[in-house]
Amino acid sequence: MRSHLLNDMTAERYRRSVTEGVERVANRLATTRRPFTGVTPDELAPVVSAIDLDRPLGDASAALDELEDVYLRDAVYFHSPRYLAHLNCPVVIPAVLGEAVLSAVNSSLDTWDQSAGGTLIERRLIDWTAQRIGLGPAADGVFTSGGTQSNLQALLLARQEAKTTDLAKLRIFSSECSHFSVQKSATLLGLGPEAVVSIPVDRDKRMQTVALAAELERCRAEGLVPMAVVATAGTTDFGSIDPLPEIAELAGLYETWMHVDAAYGCGLLVSPARRHLLDGIEHADSVTVDYHKSFFQPVSSSAVLVRDAATLRHATYHADYLNPRPTVEVGAPPASGGLRGSIPNQVDKSLQTTRRFDALKLWMTLRVMGADGVGQLFDEVCDLTAAGWELLAADPRYDVVVRPQLSTLVYRYIPRSVTDPVLIDRANLHARKALFASGEAVVAGTKVGGRQYLKFTLLNPETTTEDIAAVLDLIAGHAEQFLGENLVHAS
Ligand SMILES: *Cc1c(COP(=O)(O)O)cnc(C)c1O
């Protein structure tokens, strides 16, 4: 069994099996445009259950053959131009290379003595990202598992920096379109059930700053304490970007922490054409970025950045076995001040202990493609989305919600002959399900004003306007078929 450990004797076999695995995926993508087979849990579960885990195959090729049946054939492929559903991206190849290397070395980024150069690479990328944001010389941050964790950590820091320890008094302000992890974080942080104040959005789904100002004022008048304002730079449903400069001004006025959730919109940091959409983000106290959304990185790859490195001390705990007190460096400025002879232990800044070297994927991506290369891909999908909006707006079969700033389109099928809103909801729901079952395309759904809508999240530069038009025809077909059957029954 030792022959399965990676060492100089087994490297060639490792190389072959990794290559074979990646090749199988690539071949699959080359031979079908479909994102999915339409398999159901009832069909697939018995196939997975039938595998006898106590009887190993002993051989990577045999295991890959078996994997075709239990996973590869029926997986949902984000690389397909007709996968238009959630905030998942096809991945760039340099990142896949980084993934293979980081798993093979298996560095853990908690302490220097488990990572060495990995720690320095992560710190460079944190500095690079902070600089792109414009956070200033004292900035720092750390890679995380995703936007949910980044938001939790940012709000933890905000709670510790708040002007009261009375948790029941703390309030977080975020738009009604902000991500649900804001509410989840508030609960995990022990805040009261009323802690998150939901601010209404305007027609373009951006936070109404007049309402924010009124809520901040009311908070103060009631003797409560504003803990944080969360601005979303790219809402999950609409890709809308809250007015960052105005929000920054209000956060300053009320002396509260400003967090920008740019989990989705972070790709704009490298966009040659659209960087200005993030103007004002430089005022943030903390920022969430998900490289695994708009930087075309494999899951997981995310970071939380902070304006003031010293605030990360709120995540610092010591263990004799890992990061004992004398060797740690707490809150020292990162690159600007150098390492100052101390041992850089990233665990001092993280909610995690053992932690993947996800930074390597972004590093390889930047070293091969460059920031502009990534940004151009994101610009392409934003351009495609603008074209998709034109299609939808001109199509009498559809109602489309907002002109997109990023790469989502929210719309619904509106039959000419039917006015019952409940039936229209059901027709849209049915169309989404039928499309998924057919495997021809995958789209998402959401609600707007209580009504059922459908959603495209366009993160694949290979998707074309023809793909969008074709999927809209498929949806219309499924919806019409449903209405045909149900109107017959009704009459
Ligand atoms: C996706 C998303 C998150 C959560 O990020 P995960 O990486 O899925 O944990 C948070 N905020 C916004 C705006 C998002 O779109």
Tens of pLDDT, residue by residue over 316-340, are 988 888 888 864 455 655 544 455 5
> Does the beta carbon of 208 lie inside 6 Å of ligand 1?
no
Report the run of H or E that residue 452 belongs to, with start and end.
Answer: strand 451-457
Residue 70 DSSP one-character state: I
Q: How many CA atoms lie within 13 A of 73 on its CB side?
A: 13
Report the percent of the chain where pLDDT is more than 90: 85
- Widest pairwise Cα distance in the chain: 82
Token duo for residue 204? 């373009």
Mutate-to-test residue for ligand 1 from 78, 144, 148, highest number of ligand atoms within 8 A of CB: 148
Report the percent of the chain where pLDDT is more than 70: 96
Q: Are 463 and 35 in contact (CB under 8 A)?
A: no
Assess whether pLDDT exceeds 60 at residue 74: yes
Angle between helices 93-105 and 359-368 (to 10 degrees): 140
Bridge partners of 400, per DSSP, are 411
Bridge partners of 443, per DSSP, are 84
Q: Are 110 and 347 in contact (CB under 8 A)?
A: yes
Entry field: residues in the chain: 491
> Does the beta carbon of 263 lie inside 6 Å of ligand 1?
yes
| Structure confidence at residue 333 (pLDDT) | 53
Segment 224-260, tens digit of pLDDT: 999 999 999 999 999 999 999 999 999 999 999 999 9
Segment 151-185, tens digit of pLDDT: 999 999 999 999 999 999 999 999 999 999 999 99
Report the run of H or E that residue 226 belongs to, with start and end.
Answer: strand 225-232
End-to-end CA distance of the chain: 69
> Does the beta carbon of 290 lie inside 6 Å of ligand 1?
yes
CA 39 to chain centre: 26
State phi, psi for 84 to the nearest 5 degrees: -130, 25
Segment 404-460, tens digit of pLDDT: 999 999 999 999 888 899 999 999 999 999 999 999 999 999 999 999 999 999 999
The CATH number of domain 100-368 is 1.10.10.60: no
Separation of alpha carbons 58 and 55, rounded Å: 9
When pLDDT is averaged across residues 355-379 and rounded to a whole number, the result is 98
Hey, do 100-368 and 371-490 end up sharing a CATH topology, with the first three levels equal? Answer: no
Q: Which amino acid is at 29?
A: L
> Does the beta carbon of 369 lie inside 6 Å of ligand 1?
no
Atom of ligand 1 nearest to the CA of 299: 7
Q: Which amino acid is at 270?
A: V
- Kindly indicate the confidence band of residue 342, based on its pLDDT and cuts at 50, 70 and 90: confident
> Does the beta carbon of 261 lie inside 6 Å of ligand 1?
yes
Segment 102-157, tens digit of pLDDT: 999 999 999 999 999 999 999 999 999 999 999 999 999 999 999 999 999 999 99
Separation of alpha carbons 459 and 85, rounded Å: 9
The CATH number of domain 371-490 is 3.90.1150.170: yes
| Structure confidence at residue 400 (pLDDT) | 97
> Does the beta carbon of 264 lie inside 6 Å of ligand 1?
yes
Mutate-to-test residue for ligand 1 from 181, 266, 459, highest number of ligand atoms within 8 A of CB: 181
| Structure confidence at residue 398 (pLDDT) | 98
- Kindly indicate the confidence band of residue 379, based on its pLDDT and cuts at 50, 70 and 90: very high
Q: Tell me the pLDDT of the chain averaged across its residues.
A: 94
| Structure confidence at residue 337 (pLDDT) | 44
All structural domains of the chain with their residue ranges: 13-81, 100-368, 371-490
Separation of alpha carbons 258 and 225, rounded Å: 14
| Structure confidence at residue 91 (pLDDT) | 96
Dist. CA 261 → ligand 1 center (Å): 8
Token duo for residue 362? 């972004």
Regarding predicted confidence, which is higher, 490 or 148? 148
Bridge partners of 411, per DSSP, are 400, 454
